[in-house]
Amino acid sequence: MPFVFEKTEIKDLILIKPEVFADNRGFFMETYKKSEFYSNGIKVDFVQDNYSVSAKRVLRGLHYQIFPYEQAKLIRCTKGKIYDVALDIRPNSKSFGKYLKTELSEENKHMLFIPKGFAHGFVVLSEFAELSYKTTKEYNPTAERGILWSDKDINIDWGIDFEPVLSKKDENQPRFSDINKMEFIYD
């Protein structure tokens, strides 16, 4: 089997560990196989691939898109190391307002499947990090929303001992209690 799918403590967030075939020439691994993902409960169709590069200490997030542009994502760190964070913003979820933090790196090659209904962010722990991720809806700037990364009500433990580098947009995101939860239409 080319993947191990591990359920997390938050329903529908799935950590994916690909099988890596390595030898003295390098390595090979599958990063996505529709039939395997479908048979393990990830029944989505990806429509856009994204690639980002960020320097050490950069924190991006917490971002999400509203209906009808909400996105599920498959996140992978291809170079470097990050802490990846997914915050449950599904109002009817038992884990509403809770988050999962996991390390994704070029060494462990793990991927995180984040279903729609989550805000997403990450912080770079290495000199730089390259991320490759798939989304189920195309990016729409009018549907983009965010939550302040340091909101005390959510109290995310980012696992860092430094002041992160933020965009102006991420410095000024609203607190979780101030966002319009009427925009959260997730099944």
Could you count the other beta carbons within 10 Å of the beta carbon of residue 115?
Answer: 23
Tell me how far apart the alpha carbons of residues 76 and 65 are, in angstroms, rounded to a whole number.
20
Q: What is the CA radius of gyration of the chain?
A: 16
Distances (CA, A) of 97 to 35, 90, 119: 32, 8, 10
C-alpha span between 68 and 80 (Å, rounded): 33
Cross-strand pairs, 58: 165
Residue type, 176: F
Query: What angle (nearest 5°) sits at the alpha carbon of residue 185, between those of residues 156 and 137?
Result: 85
| 40 and 128 Cβ atoms separated by less than 8 Å | no
CB atoms within 10 A of CB 5: 17
Question: Annotated active-site positions, please?
Answer: 63, 133
- The residue among 130, 146, 163 whose CA lies nearest residue 50 is 130
